[in-house]
Amino acid sequence: EADIYQTPRYLVIGTGKKITLECSQTMGHDKMYWYQQDPGMELHLIHYSYGVNSTEKGDLSSESTVSRIRTEHFPLTLESARPSHTSQYLCASTDRYEQYFGPGTRLTVT
């Protein structure tokens, strides 16, 4: 069982709300990632980080932002949620090749 945690697991919010999805890992990994996944579909990388104070955008354009102030913490923020943001968001980390995933946050924007 991977030591990587995401909260909340499920979230239903209204359009225009600001939300932060939390991701924490206790493995001391420098590299962390955020993926977006629609049900039954492939994962798309939206953000990644090499370490503290490092953040980069991924392949999929996203209106979200991330921060990396501490090694173990990599939160994702949506300033103004829209129905198109409805999806599952997965956080992962690695120290070399294998990625460890959190359980995901299923977000629904009404």
Partner 1 sequence: SQQGEEDPQALSIQEGENATMNCSYKTSINNLQWYRQNSGRGLVHLILIRSNEREKHSGRLRVTLDTSKKSSSLLITASRAADTASYFCATDEGNAGNMLTFGGGTRLMVKP
Which residues have a Cβ under 8 Å from the Cβ of 67 and sit 6 or more positions away?
55, 74, 75, 77
Closer to partner 1 by Cβ: residue 15 or 54: 54
**34 vs 81 by CB, closer to partner 1:** 34
Retrieve residue 61's tokens: 């354009």
Dihedral sign for Cα 18, 89, 11, 15, please. positive
Smallest separation (angstroms) from partner 1 to the CB of 29: 10
Dist. CA 77–CA 9, nearest whole Å: 15
- Given a contact cutoff of 8 angstroms between Cβ atoms, the answer to whether 74 and 91 are in contact is yes
Closer Cβ to partner 1, 84 or 98, answer by number:
98
Identity of the residue, 61 or 98, whose beta carbon is nearer to partner 1 in the bound complex: 98
Interface residue list for partner 1 (CB under 8 A):
2, 4, 6, 31, 33, 35, 40-43, 45, 48, 50, 56, 58-59, 88, 90, 92, 94, 96-104, 106
Is 71 in contact with 57 (CB distance < 8 Å)?
no
Min separation Cβ 5 and partner 1, Å: 10
- Smallest distance from the beta carbon of 42 to partner 1, in angstroms? 5
